Amino acid sequence: MGKPMCHNLIKAGYDLVVMDKNMESTKDFETLATIVLSPMEVATLSEVIITMLPNSPHVKDVILGKDGIVASDRKGLTIIDMSSISPIVSREIYSELEKVGIDMLDAPVSGGEPKAIEGTLSVMVGGKQEIFDKYYHLMKAMAASVVRVGETGAGNIAKLCNQIIVAINISAVAEALILAQKAGVSPELVYNAIRGGLAGSTVLDAKAPLMMNRKFTPGFRIDLHIKDMNNVLETSHNLGIPLPLSAAVMEMMQALKADGLGNDDHCSLVKYYEKITNLVLEH
């Protein structure tokens, strides 16, 4: 995700300082950006820092750890964390940054690698209005939609809501198409019949054809959706609310991971239904 986002920032005319623990990932930028070896060096050379990392512990380490951003002792910086992490952790990090004079937006994205390449991501942002306004056009260079949804942590709450709806929607698509096939009705014709009605959705149009054509190359991996659903359930438990549908889909994804399918696209939820119905979805 981070690599195509960097390319879109460069296309928009921004000067970049790039760092990745996997130096192989920075080779594309040898003639396009300044490459450094630590988050602290990025902070020393930058006004605003965008982080795009796997999960909460990685973000905490890059920002607050040894040789992290705060180790630069640069006041007046802004961090835009575009990772999808726990909103609880976003607020913890922001609390520490406030003490050293660094601003932060939590700005997770939706759209996966294809949208990152196109520069048409959806960005959900939490943080101060004035910081959002200042860096709106920077974020817009990578996205079709950039919306502030509240104060710090609100961006990641919105992302968790997004991931709930996507996960449950994909599982519903899989369940419906398996039902159609078992009943002797073409899943493709059912898809064409319902996509223009109330059941129509971006998820239906994106994932139903992949399921029927057996295309499980990852646009967004099961393992990553498990990570997000872990954050969903951790947050819901912290708030004291049950999310039964989210919990059910999480268990389906865990079953797929146990079957060695963690690197498949999340549309492989159809394989869960295929296994329990002893059926293979056909075009």
Q: Which two tokens stand for residue 77?
A: 């910086």
* Cα–Cα distance, 124 to 228 (Å, whole number): 15
List, for residues 176-189, the tens digit of each pLDDT value.
999 999 999 999 99
Q: In Å, how far are 34, 49, 89, 95 from 86, measured between CA atoms?
A: 30, 19, 5, 14
Q: Can 2-151 and 157-277 be said to share one CATH topology? A: no
- pLDDT value for 148: 98
pLDDT band at 197 (very low <50, low <70, confident <90, very high): very high
- pLDDT value for 112: 84
Angle subtended by helix axes 222-239 and 87-99, to nearest 10:
80
Candidates 3.40.50.720, 3.30.1050.10, 3.30.70.20, 3.30.930.10; CATH matching 2-151: 3.40.50.720
Average pLDDT, the chain: 96
- pLDDT value for 281: 95
The SS3 call for residue 145 is strand
Q: Measured on CA atoms in the order 254, 259, 262, 268, is the torsion positive or negative?
A: negative
pTM for the structure as a whole:
0.91
Percentage of the chain beyond pLDDT 70 is 100
The SS3 call for residue 175 is helix
Instruction: State the distance between the two ends of the chain, measured CA to CA, in whole angstroms.
Output: 31
- pLDDT value for 102: 96
Nearest CA to 69 among 86, 51, 88, 89? 51
CATH number of 157-277: 1.10.1040.10
- For residue 12, pLDDT beyond 90: yes
List, for residues 80-111, the tens digit of each pLDDT value.
999 999 999 999 999 999 999 999 999 999 98
| Active-site residue set | 159
Q: Measured on CA atoms in the order 101, 107, 108, 112, is the torsion positive or negative?
A: negative
- For residue 192, pLDDT beyond 90: yes
pLDDT band at 283 (very low <50, low <70, confident <90, very high): confident
- For residue 282, pLDDT beyond 90: no
List, for residues 231-248, the tens digit of each pLDDT value.
999 999 999 999 999 999
DSSP string, 47-91: SEEEE--SSHHHHHHHHHSTTSGGGG--TT-EEEE-S---HHHHH
Q: What is the domain partition of the chain in residue ranges?
A: 2-151, 157-277
* Alpha helices, H only, the chain: 2-11, 39-45, 56-64, 87-99, 112-118, 129-140, 154-182, 187-194, 202-212, 222-239, 244-258, 269-277
- pLDDT value for 260: 98
Q: In Å, how far are 95, 210, 222, 249, 277 from 48, measured between CA atoms?
A: 18, 38, 32, 37, 51
- pLDDT value for 113: 85
Average pLDDT over residues 49-65: 96
The SS3 call for residue 165 is helix
List, for residues 58-86, the tens digit of each pLDDT value.
999 999 999 999 999 999 999 999 999 99
